[in-house]
Amino acid sequence: MSVDMKDAVAPLLLAWYDANARRLPWRSPPGTPAPEPYRVWLSEIMLQQTTVAAVIPYFERFTARWPTVAALAAAEDAELMSAWAGLGYYARARNLLACARAVTLRGGFPDDEAGLLELPGVGAYTAAAVAAIAFDRPATVVDGNVERVVARLFAVAEPMPAAKPALRRLAATLTPARRAGDFAQAMMDLGATICTSRSPSCLVCPIAAGCAARATGDPARFPVKAAKKAKPQRHGTIFWIERDGAVLVVRRPDKGLLGGMRALPTGPWADRPPGLDGAPAALDWRLLAPRVSHVFTHFTLDLSIAAAVLERDCATPADGEWWPRDRLEEAGLPTVFIKAARAAREDYDPNRP
C-alpha cells in the first residue's frame, strides 16, 4: 500500500462510518458526545468471543437492572452470575464484578490505557477500546474484525495467530490522532458488514482501492489460517435428581470452569465415560437415552444423563437447592445444563417404571 493510500484510509473510512454506522445500544452516533465509559466497558466485556446479536439483549437487561458501575458493584455475586447465564465464558462475569468494585472504589474509570490495564479483567484490547471510544484517546483497537480488515489491506501472508502482533502494528499506522474511537468502530463495522470472512463485498468497500488482498484476486483467503488442531474429547455424567416436582441444583466451586454458577450435579469430566462415578447419593439411577454434547473453548464435552428420585426425608446437600422442574430456565444455569434439563424433562417421568 502506498503512503498516500495509507494516509487516505482514515478519512475515507470515517466518512463512510458517518453515513453507515451501525446503531447499537452501547454506542453514540457519529458527531454526538462519547458514550459513558461504563457502557463501553460493559459492552466490550460482553462482546468478547460473543456475537453482537447475542449481546444486545443481555446488555439492555444489565443496564436496565444496573444502570451505573456503582449499581453493578453492589450486586450480589450469585445475582450477577445468574443474569450472565447463557453468555458463556463465565470468568468474564467474575472479572466484571471485581472490576466494577475496583472502579467504584477509585471513583470512576481511568481515562487512558495504562490506568485501564490496572483494572481486574481488563486486557490490552478492552483498555484500548475504552480509552479510544469513551475518552477519544489515540489508542489502536484490534478485534477479530479489525484483524481481518488489516490482514487484507496489507495482504499479510503470515498465518494466524502468529500474525497478530504484525497486524496490531499495521493497524497502529492507520489509527488517526483524532476520532480514534470512531475509527475503531468504523473498522469493526467494515469487517462485520462488508469485509466479511466469506464473500467480502469489495465493490462497495470505501477503501478497496488500496486493498492488497483485493489486488491478488482472492481477498477471502486473508487472513491466512493455520491448520486447526482437533479439540480433545471429554466425557461426564449429569445427575437429574427429582423430589416432589422439583430438581436438585447445586452451586459449582468458585474456581474452575463455570465457577460459581448454579448447575445440575455432575460427576468428573474425564477422557472416557465415567459412568456413575461421583453420583451424589445411593439412589435407584436410570440412565436416560438422550445425551448432551457441548463445545467449550478447549475441548468438546459429551454427557450422559442419569435420573433418580430422592425421597422427601432425605437430606438436601449443603450446596443444593430445589427448583421447580418446569422453571429451571429461571435458575440461571449455563447453556450445557439447560440442554440437559430440556433433554431430561422430555425423556424422564419419575412415575414411570
What tens digit of pLDDT does each residue of 194-227 get?
999 999 999 999 999 999 999 999 999 999 998 8
The answer to whether 44 is a known catalytic residue is yes
CATH architecture of 233-347: Alpha-Beta Complex (3.90)
Say which residues have a Cβ less than 8 Å from residue 249's Cβ, sequence separation at least 6.
262, 263, 264, 320, 321, 322, 323, 328, 331, 333
pLDDT tens digits for range 149-163: 999 999 999 999 999
Which residue out of 44, 113, 147, 242 is catalytically annotated?
Answer: 44
- Give residue 24's pLDDT: 97
pLDDT tens, the chain, 353 aa long: 666 677 899 999 999 999 999 999 999 999 899 999 999 999 999 999 889 999 999 999 999 999 999 999 999 988 998 899 888 878 888 899 999 999 999 999 999 999 999 999 999 999 999 999 999 999 999 999 999 999 999 999 999 999 999 999 999 999 999 999 999 999 999 999 999 999 999 999 999 999 999 999 999 999 999 888 888 999 999 999 998 889 999 988 878 888 888 899 998 888 888 888 878 776 788 889 888 999 988 899 999 999 988 876 666 666 788 999 988 888 888 889 999 999 999 888 887 76
The pTM assigned to this predicted structure is: 0.78
Give 270's strand partners: 235
As given in the structure block, the three cell numbers for residue 212 are 492488497
d(CA 43, CA 57): 11
3 state DSSP class of 311:
coil
The number of angstroms, rounded, from the C-alpha of 306 to the middle of its chain's C-alpha atoms is 30
Whether 3-221 and 233-347 share one fold: the answer is no
Q: 3-221: what fold?
A: Endonuclease III; domain 1 (1.10.340)
Widest distance between CA atoms in the chain: 80
d(CA 242, CA 324): 9
Q: Domains of the chain: which residue ranges?
A: 3-221, 233-347
- Give residue 318's pLDDT: 67
In contact, 156 and 205? CB cutoff 8 Å: no
